[in-house]
Structure 1
Amino acid sequence: MKWNLRWAAAKQNIWRPSELLPRFAEYGFTPSLSKVSALWSGIPVTVRLDDLDKMCAALNCTVGDLMEADPVERVAPGAEQGQSQERAVGDDGPGSAGPRPVPQRGTGRPRSLPPN
């Protein structure tokens, strides 16, 4: 994912993280300056959906403006350098419909309760 908070803020003529604080506060989002600086300078690992909604409202943008999908290239199995060609027992290779596990039937007894 590409994180475009700076771009969305620039469209609103906001050039510093400290300028975001009053705008966010208008919509009930009151993060610390250090959190806003972290959102400003890098890609966040997590963002709460309600916070994302408030950021979009404050910046008059959509989630698609803040986050942009960055296509990931598909890697064929075994194509990575140094990867071994190990397969699971019973795997006859790609496209094979080998043996599948058979689900176990219950014994008819109710399960015990988990420990407290």
Structure 2
Amino acid sequence: MTKTEASECYNIPVEVLDEYESWGLCGEVIKVMGAWQYDDRDIERLSMIMTLHDIGFSNKEIETYMRLMLEGDSTEQERLRMLSDKRSDTLDEIHFRERQLDRLDYLRFKMKKKGRPEKHSQKT
């Protein structure tokens, strides 16, 4: 499968494929008649790259993770640590955003309450 075919078929931006090739991780990719050819293992790796990107890994983190993955099972603990660190960072971000929402809701509540006329109870 050519770079263009892989990009179109799997909805992977050509820039991602270029980056993948620049990392030298595509040992199975061969030059055939001037076009790169991707096999199923390359597509699996590209899928992993897209997943890592989607969960917030930087390009450098993705490259590190992919190099470790290609080294094999002996790097599983390091890759698990990377995933755990990203999970922890994501939870921290979620908690920060929840606090922001709480503050926003409080300000909205105060403004809405301020705009309402107070109800006075009449005692007779």
Question: TM-score band, normalised by the shorter chain?
Answer: under 0.3
Normalized against structure 1, the TM-score is what? 0.24
Greater share of helix: 2
Q: TM-score scaled to structure 2, two decimals?
A: 0.23
More relative contact order, 1 or 2 (CA 8 Å, 6+ apart): 1
